[in-house]
Amino acid sequence: MEKNLVMRIAQATGPLALRVAETGWIPIWGVVRHRGRRSGKLYSTPIAIRPTPDGFVLPLPWGEGTDWCRNLRAAGRGVVRWGDAEIEITGPEIIDTADALPAFDAFMRPIVKRIGIKKFLRVRRATVAKDAGSLIGRTA
């Protein structure tokens, strides 16, 4: 029941969250651009994100079954909008909390542990991009 309420709130506030995430005003938010596995439609999903030296770590509070995570994993690539840059990402892989914690600063580590997120998606930087739609390409 609680999870359904959180999901409904996320759906209702999604368009506003996307606008805020795209501006880069909140440094823990980015936007993941991905293609639908079946539809081929381009989606933009606002998500908490932590940069790493070679890519990003994205928390999976609802697990690895979220559509954006499944789309990235199926395609093997996507685009992250971080600040004012569009960055192509590749090699999405599921990692656990222990592997994700180094991406968080000392202040955030206890918070991440307390929240109880068990799975994260690690992606690697490929290139800096200008046109996210052409980078993602079409999938079947």
E strand spans, 3-108: 29-35, 42-48, 50-52, 55-59, 77-82, 85-96
Average pLDDT across each block of 10 residues of the chain; the chain has 140 residues. List them in order: 53 56 61 90 88 92 89 94 87 94 89 88 79 46
**Residue 128 burial by CB count (10 A; 0-12/13-18/19+): exposed, middle or buried?**
exposed
The reported pLDDT for the residue numbered 22 is 54
The reported pLDDT for the residue numbered 113 is 85
The reported pLDDT for the residue numbered 138 is 41
Q: Apex CA 69: angle with CA 63 and CA 71, to 5°? A: 145
The reported pLDDT for the residue numbered 11 is 58
- How far apart CA 102 and CA 6 sit, in angstroms, is 27
Domains and CATH numbers, the chain: 2-132 (2.30.110.10)
pTM of the model: 0.73
The reported pLDDT for the residue numbered 139 is 38
